[in-house]
């Protein structure tokens, strides 16, 4: 190796500085995961070279036996992790090792609490890959060369993790990457052969690329004594180096499945569940899918990395093959290995391959079946729902064919428990429906408290009819695509005419009609007083405690969705609400007896209060306050 040239010192991206500072100075409870991360990165580099070499085997440079090698030097206090994979160019080194090229980093940093132990645990869960080396090292040196490039194109990267790094050009004979960790004083335990071997078997036994460590063998004389100077070093493969998904299910332990998940997902925690399946026949493939126990930080970024690892006959093709699962199942991780896709296919052509659609349909069904099975464990499924529920709610709009199946997996807060916890299924709701009830009722609001306290629920509470309480931003959009469940139509209690069906008897319905006739004069006066502010005024039987409420026409966009779209800059046509009055309320009785200006003021106050109760914004709050003050001081 020649002397380094063209050396420059650069600063880390701000987010990396924060991350490194936390890593280096935090108390870290599971430091050993650094080796798993570095081995996983090396395995990925080998996979990428194997794929690139399908079109150009000259990239192997005469060394096609892909491997990862780990060495240690106890005296120098170093651990070296080396691979002969794809390697990096100078620009790639600066990009990959100077920034975190992973969306969601900002959200990750926002969740850091400032408490060292809690933050250190978060870092381990984040799966920060290369940067985990700084957990045990006070200096890291990387030497690399891109496969197929000139030997003079080698690059050396150095950093002590203190905010900057240096990059220099070097001569490097071998392609691939070598990472040298200069261990901290309290991390010298890792410069030990037995420790390293045990960590490889613990975390990376399933890696398909051989992970090798040096083994020193000494010749012995006839008496069994070692002959001095006869030491010979050989490389010994420590891991099983077989594709875990290709092994029979009966031979794989839960610990092995969980370890493989951590490799695939770069996650620190165990998955909630998994499904390992081999399909034979017209379509042949093997899948190993996992449901994580926690969300990645880019879950809600629609352009973020997602999808399964794709292999064709155990040849790695791509990391995030998003074509094999719908977007609403983007949290599922795993591997798909198939014989039915051509190897020279590009990412664009792969999307149009009819075999992909067939595999996607089968994997979607398997993913939903996996969740249905998980739902039998209420506690585990609640953990899943709290983490990924809002993503699964995208399903009915995206996947019409599986809409009923997805609906069965949804969970809601309802008036049955009056708890904000979304833990009630639609099957639970249907099983509790009142005699004569033919519809599933729901209400959408900006918050759980607003939904729970809505005046629209008053008649339902009086009649003992359960209502779904929806407050997630996606809920109104969800319900616009979820028309029925088990033959029961969904009805928004804040839209259109209220029809409780056979829950109300004929006497009640007749009494409502008589009341409406008796209050026709009042309704006409209120309509004239409010003018263009309302579409219509009518008396209602949906209220028991409130004097009035506003209702939207049945097929109009709800208040919550309108506010979300307006906040996003959408211009929407004006929709005038319907004002419904409770004829039994004292304030409505007082309104009926009022005359002149007092009548107009009280009519406007009731209308404004109904809008406020709905979580809406008044067009003229000052006028409302003035009218209310006049009423209170009269």
Q: Label the pairing between strands 78-83 and 68-73.
A: antiparallel
Answer yes or no: are the C-beta atoms of 144 and 154 closer than 8 Å.
Answer: yes
Question: Would the annotation count 37 as a binding residue?
Answer: yes
- Give the Cα separation of 213 and 512 in Å (integer): 85
Question: Would the annotation count 23 as a binding residue?
Answer: no
Sheet strands side by side (includes 467-470): 413-414, 467-470, 439-444, 488-492, 484-485
In terms of DSSP H, where are the helices of 457-595?
458-463, 475-481, 506-518, 520-530, 559-567, 586-593
Q: What is the mean pLDDT of residues 131-154?
A: 92
For residue 40, how many other CB atoms are within 10 A of its CB? Answer: 20
Answer yes or no: are the C-beta atoms of 175 and 83 closer than 8 Å.
Answer: no
Which residues in 7-18 are b (16+ Cβ under 10 Å) and which e?
eeeeebeeebee
Q: How far is CA 145 from the centre of its chain?
A: 35
**Which two tokens mark 317?**
């093709």
- The answer to whether residue 232 scores a pLDDT higher than 70 is yes
Question: Would the annotation count 88 as a binding residue?
Answer: yes
Which pLDDT belongs to residue 342?
A: 57
- Give the Cα separation of 115 and 23 in Å (integer): 12
Question: Would the annotation count 103 as a binding residue?
Answer: yes
Question: Would the annotation count 96 as a binding residue?
Answer: yes
The DSSP secondary structure of 35-50, one letter per residue, reads HHHHHHHHHHHHHHHH
Question: Would the annotation count 125 as a binding residue?
Answer: yes
Residues 493-524 pLDDT 10s: 988 888 777 777 778 788 888 888 888 889 89
Which pLDDT belongs to residue 201?
A: 83
Question: Would the annotation count 510 as a binding residue?
Answer: no
Q: What is the mean pLDDT of residues 288-317?
A: 76
The label of the residue with tokens 């940093």 reads 109
pLDDT band at 48 (very low <50, low <70, confident <90, very high): confident
Q: What is the mean pLDDT of residues 594-609?
A: 90
pLDDT higher for 533 or 203? 533
Answer yes or no: are the C-beta atoms of 40 and 83 closer than 8 Å.
Answer: no
Answer yes or no: are the C-beta atoms of 302 and 284 closer than 8 Å.
Answer: no
- The answer to whether residue 616 scores a pLDDT higher than 80 is no
Q: What is the mean pLDDT of residues 422-441?
A: 93
Question: Would the annotation count 153 as a binding residue?
Answer: no
Q: Is the pTM of this model over 0.85?
A: no
Q: Label the pairing between strands 315-321 and 273-279.
A: unpaired
User: Under 8 Å CB-to-CB from 30, ≥6 apart: which residues?
Assistant: 124, 268
- The answer to whether residue 127 scores a pLDDT higher than 50 is no
* Least confident segment among 26-35, 61-70, 274-283: 26-35
Residues 390-404 pLDDT 10s: 999 999 999 999 999
Q: What is the mean pLDDT of residues 195-219?
A: 86
Chain mean pLDDT for the chain: 84
- The answer to whether residue 100 scores a pLDDT higher than 70 is no
Question: Would the annotation count 104 as a binding residue?
Answer: yes
pLDDT band at 222 (very low <50, low <70, confident <90, very high): confident
What are the backbone dihedrals phi and psi of residue 70, each rounded to the nearest 5 degrees, phi first?
Answer: -125, 125
Which pLDDT belongs to residue 193?
A: 94
Q: Cα dist. 56→49, 442, 451 in Å?
A: 10, 60, 62
- Give the Cα separation of 251 and 254 in Å (integer): 10
Residue 165 DSSP one-character state: E
- Give the Cα separation of 338 and 342 in Å (integer): 10
Answer yes or no: are the C-beta atoms of 327 and 394 closer than 8 Å.
Answer: yes
Question: Would the annotation count 130 as a binding residue?
Answer: yes
Three-state DSSP at 434 gives coil
In terms of DSSP H, where are the helices of 489-575?
506-518, 520-530, 559-567
pLDDT higher for 405 or 306? 405
What are the backbone dihedrals phi and psi of residue 551, each rounded to the nearest 5 degrees, phi first?
Answer: -130, 145
**Which residue in 553, 546, 551 sits closest to 583, CA to CA?**
546
- Give the Cα separation of 170 and 178 in Å (integer): 13
pLDDT band at 257 (very low <50, low <70, confident <90, very high): very high
pLDDT band at 195 (very low <50, low <70, confident <90, very high): very high
Question: Would the annotation count 195 as a binding residue?
Answer: no
Which pLDDT belongs to residue 183?
A: 96
Question: Would the annotation count 433 as a binding residue?
Answer: no
Q: How far is CA 403 from the centre of its chain?
A: 20
Question: Would the annotation count 107 as a binding residue?
Answer: no
pLDDT band at 101 (very low <50, low <70, confident <90, very high): very low
């Amino acid at each position: 190796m020649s002397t380094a040239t063209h050396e420059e010192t650069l600063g880390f991206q701000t987010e990396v500085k924060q991350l490194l500072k936390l890593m280096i100075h935090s108390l870290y409870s599971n430091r050993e995961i650094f080796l798993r991360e570095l081995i996983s990165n090396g395995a990925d580099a080998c996979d990428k070279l194997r794929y690139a070499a399908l079109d150009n085997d000259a990239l192997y440079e005469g060394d096609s036996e892909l491997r990862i090698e780990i060495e240690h030097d106890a005296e120098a206090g170093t651990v070296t992790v080396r691979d002969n994979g794809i390697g990096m160019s100078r620009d790639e080194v600066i990009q990959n090792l100077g920034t975190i090229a992973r969306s969601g980093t900002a959200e990750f940093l926002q969740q850091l609490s400032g408490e060292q132990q809690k933050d250190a645990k978060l870092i381990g869960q984040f799966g920060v890959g290369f940067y985990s080396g700084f957990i045990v090292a006070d200096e890291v040196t990387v030497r690399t060369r891109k496969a197929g490039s000139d030997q003079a194109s080698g690059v050396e990267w150095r950093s002590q993790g203190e905010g900057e790094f240096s990059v220099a050009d070097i001569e490097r004979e071998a392609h691939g990457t070598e990472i040298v960790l200069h261990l901290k004083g309290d991390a010298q335990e890792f410069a030990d052969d037995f420790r390293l071997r045990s960590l490889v078997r613990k975390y990376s036994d399933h890696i398909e690329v051989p992970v090798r460590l040096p083994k020193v063998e000494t010749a012995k004389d006839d008496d069994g004594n070692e002959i001095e100077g006869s030491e010979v070093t050989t490389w010994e493969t420590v891991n099983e180096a077989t594709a875990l998904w290709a092994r029979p299910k009966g031979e794989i332990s839960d610990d092995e499945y969980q370890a493989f998940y951590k490799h695939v997902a770069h996650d620190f925690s165990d998955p909630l569940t998994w499904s390992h399946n081999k399909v034979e026949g017209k379509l042949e493939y093997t899948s190993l899918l996992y449901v994580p126990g926690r969300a990645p930080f880019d879950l809600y970024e629609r352009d973020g990395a997602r999808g399964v690892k794709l292999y064709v006959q155990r040849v790695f093709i791509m990391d995030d093959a998003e074509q094999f699962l719908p977007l609403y199942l983007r949290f599922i991780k795993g591997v798909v290995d198939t014989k039915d896709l051509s190897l020279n296919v590009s990412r664009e052509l792969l999307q149009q391959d009819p075999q992909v659609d067939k595999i996607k349909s089968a994997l979607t069904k398997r993913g939903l079946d996996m969740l249905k099975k998980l739902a039998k464990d209420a506690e585990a499924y609640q953990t899943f729902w709290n983490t990924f529920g809002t993503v699964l709610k995208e399903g009915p709009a995206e996947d019409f064919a599986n809409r009923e199946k997805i609906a069965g997996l949804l969970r809601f807060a309802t008036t049955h428990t009056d708890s904000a916890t979304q833990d009630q299924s639609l099957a639970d709701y249907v099983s509790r429906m009142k005699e004569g009830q033919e519809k599933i009722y729901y209400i959408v609001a900006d918050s759980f408290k607003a939904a729970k306290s809505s005046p629209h629920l008053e008649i339902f509470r009086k009649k003992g009819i359960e209502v779904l309480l929806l407050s997630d931003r996606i809920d109104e959009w969800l319900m616009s695509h979820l028309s029925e469940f088990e033959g029961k139509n969904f009805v928004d209690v804040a839209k259109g005419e209220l029809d409780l069906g056979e829950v109300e008897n004929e006497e009640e319905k007749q009494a409502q009609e008589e009341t409406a006739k008796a209050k026709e004069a009042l309704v006409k006066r209120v309509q004239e007083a409010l003018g263009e502010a309302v579409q219509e005024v009518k008396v209602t039987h949906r209220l028991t405690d409130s004097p009035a409420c506003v209702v939207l026409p049945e097929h109009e966009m709800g208040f919550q969705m309108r506010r979300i779209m307006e906040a996003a800059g959408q211009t929407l046509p004006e929709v005038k609400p319907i004002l419904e009055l409770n004829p039994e309320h004292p304030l409505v009785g007082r309104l009926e007896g009022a005359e002149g200006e007092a009548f107009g003021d009280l009519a406007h106050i009731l209308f404004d209060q109904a809008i406020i109760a709905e979580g809406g914004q008044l067009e003229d709050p000052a006028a409302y306050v003035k009218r209310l003050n006049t009423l209170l001081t009269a």
